[in-house]
Amino acid sequence: MSLWQIIRRLLPFVRPYRSLVISTLLLTLVGSLAAQVNPFVLRYTVDTVQGLLNRGQGLAEGWHMLLWVSGLLLGKELINTGITFGQKYYGEKIRISVSGALAEAAVTKILGYELGFFSEGGNQTGKLQTRIDRGVESLMKLVQNFFIDILPLFANAIVALVVMFFANKWVGMVALAVLPVYFWLSYRQADRLNGTRRNLRSLREEKNHGLISIIDSIVVIKSFVREAYEGDKQLAVQDRLEEAQLSTRRTNFRYDGLKTFVEQIGVVAIIVLTAYLVLDGQISIGAIMFHILLFNNVSAPIRQLHRIYDEMNEALTYAEGFFAILDADDQTERPGPLRPAHLYGRFELRHVDFTYPSGTAALHDVSMTIEAGKTTALVGLSGAGKSTIINLLCEFYRPNGGTVLLDGQPLSEYDTHALRQQIGLVLQKNHIFKGTIEENIRYGNFAATQAEIEAAARQAYLHDQILDLPRGYQSDAQQLSGGQQQRIAIARLFLKNPPIIFLDEPTASLDAIATEQIKNSLDAIKQGRTVVIISHSLAQIVDSDCIYVMKKGEMVESGTHLQLYEKRGTYREIFDASARSLNIEKLAKTMADDGDEVLDTAL
């Protein structure tokens, strides 16, 4: 993206604040004109004092001039204070508002994108956040530079230069001659810093990431006694960071020194020239101070050039990544027209092929029917494509080939929100939001009353455990154990109370007692609803109305438990392996012995 393209993209975000931008610019222009008052006043003062001395007069004749000059300077300074405040405050207001609008635009866009967007390389959680942060930050600086700083800065320099030329063209030319050198040095400085800054930033991120990673993996580090190894790794990053920081400072100080030197050459040249012109009788003595102060007004704004150049470079680097987030319109979820108030939940997959955006082929020619009001189980080894089917049924992704029908209509014809309102999804690991237990359960239905929340928690066998916590429903949900967090997800499902339920390993992280409790609850909620369940636990699938067996992205067998068992195919293999892993024979023998004992006692 070129600078102009970026500015054009920024305009809609700045436009709502255009009156603020114009007022800020006006204020700054007035400020830059006010800055030229001092040289004039000083010239007048020096010349008047000189005149008084030449006439052999003193304080008695000059005091009213001094009073007048002090009043003028203080009055100007008073006005200047107001102007500076207004300029800074409104400038900051524009920056903050525009950056807020940019961040908001990114969040709104992201929320509307399909899941595929998030699995693309540059869009994974951390990277996306960095792209937004850096984009907003660099664009904010660009807004500051382009809409607030540049014009007044240059106006100030140009006004001062023009005044110098008008006062004396030779002095003006000396001032003008210094500028190209100054520009060139600023450009070199920004160019040199461009690389080091980026390096510095990535090292800072690496260091922060390293620290977070240490804290996250502290148990593993300690259990493998790898403290020294991790410490060395972090130290190496720290060393590189220090070196980069010093090198940045070195470059900065070197160029700052050079620029000050060039500026001083200009000052010396102006002093010599103006002194010569005074001695030659061409200008008054007051003009020496006049020109030096004006020259300061010329060079002061230009001192900031390297910063502006640097920040524009930064914007050029990061703006493209940021606007790409706003522009991924082809990945926006496009809701279809169907918004039925009630769904029966009969899904039909016809020759469905699906490959994830990352390129992993997950489903090949899958055809199956999920009957309304029945429980359908998906069975297969890990990676067989079971969760992918649920992803397609929720319309998180769209198939690459074939069709998915719901209640006889293509799934893509449904409004995604209306569809998902009627689907309850419980995963193996469910997200718990930062907040209280109550807030987390309420996520299932914002309109729920406290009594309904408690009823849902009871159904998920969570209520009693919550009451045991010191702060009850107001406890921090993220502090709960994995099993308790799972029950929150199930409570959310009860609260949402949808006609269609997808369960992807809902009890995988629960202990045996909890699994039994949750199974009972789920059995109760299953009645009359369409349920699709994925589970490695045979107990949860044997009484399903229909079982589909998946293998390497294909549907290889289907039927009831008994039909599939008799078939002696993939299902039977999985069943036998599960039975062996459970050591079913020994368990059965224990239970039989126990049964005999009970029988003996009874006899």
Of 440 and 570, which has the nearer Cβ to ligand ADP?
Answer: 570
Least distance (Å) from ligand ADP to the CB of residue 384? 4
Of 389 and 448, which has the nearer Cβ to ligand ADP?
Answer: 389
Sheet with strand 546-551: strands edge to edge: 423-426, 500-504, 530-534, 375-380, 546-551, 554-559
Phi, psi angles (nearest 5°) of residue 404: -120, 125
Identify residues 331-370 at the interface with ligand ADP (CB under 6 A).
Answer: 356, 358, 360, 362
As a dihedral over the C-alpha atoms of residue 100, residue 105, residue 111, residue 114, rounded to 10 degrees, the angle is -150
Of 315 and 547, which has the nearer Cβ to ligand ADP?
Answer: 547
Q: Whole-angstrom distance between the N-terminal and C-terminal Cα of the chain? A: 90
CA gap 135, 168 in Å, rounded: 47
Using CB under 6 A, count the residues that bind ligand ADP. 13
CA nearest neighbour of 322 among 113, 145, 144, 107? 107
Rounded to a whole number of angstroms, the CA Rg of the chain reads 37
Mind giving me the DSSP string for 400-468?
SEEEEEETTEEGGGB-HHHHHHTEEEE-SS----SSBHHHHHHTT-TT--HHHHHHHHHHTT-HHHHHT
Contact 25, 148 (CB under 8 A): yes
Least distance (Å) from ligand ADP to the CB of residue 453? 31
Of 384 and 423, which has the nearer Cβ to ligand ADP?
Answer: 384
Of 287 and 384, which has the nearer Cβ to ligand ADP?
Answer: 384
Of 149 and 505, which has the nearer Cβ to ligand ADP?
Answer: 505
Which token pair is 39? 């040289």
Which token pair is 348? 């039909």
Least distance (Å) from ligand ADP to the CB of residue 506? 13
Least distance (Å) from ligand ADP to the CB of residue 537? 14
Least distance (Å) from ligand ADP to the CB of residue 124? 11
CA nearest neighbour of 420 among 43, 114, 174? 114
Least distance (Å) from ligand ADP to the CB of residue 395? 15
**Pattern 101-130, ligand ADP, x by CB under 6 A:** ------------------x-----------
Least distance (Å) from ligand ADP to the CB of residue 356? 3
The residue type at 65:
M
Identify residues 454-483 at the interface with ligand ADP (CB under 6 A).
Answer: none
CA gap 145, 158 in Å, rounded: 17
Of 118 and 565, which has the nearer Cβ to ligand ADP?
Answer: 118
Identify residues 373-402 at the interface with ligand ADP (CB under 6 A).
Answer: 380, 382-388
| Binding flag, residue 39, ligand ADP (CB under 6 A) | no
Which residues form the interface with ligand ADP (CB under 6 A)? 119, 356, 358, 360, 362, 380, 382-388
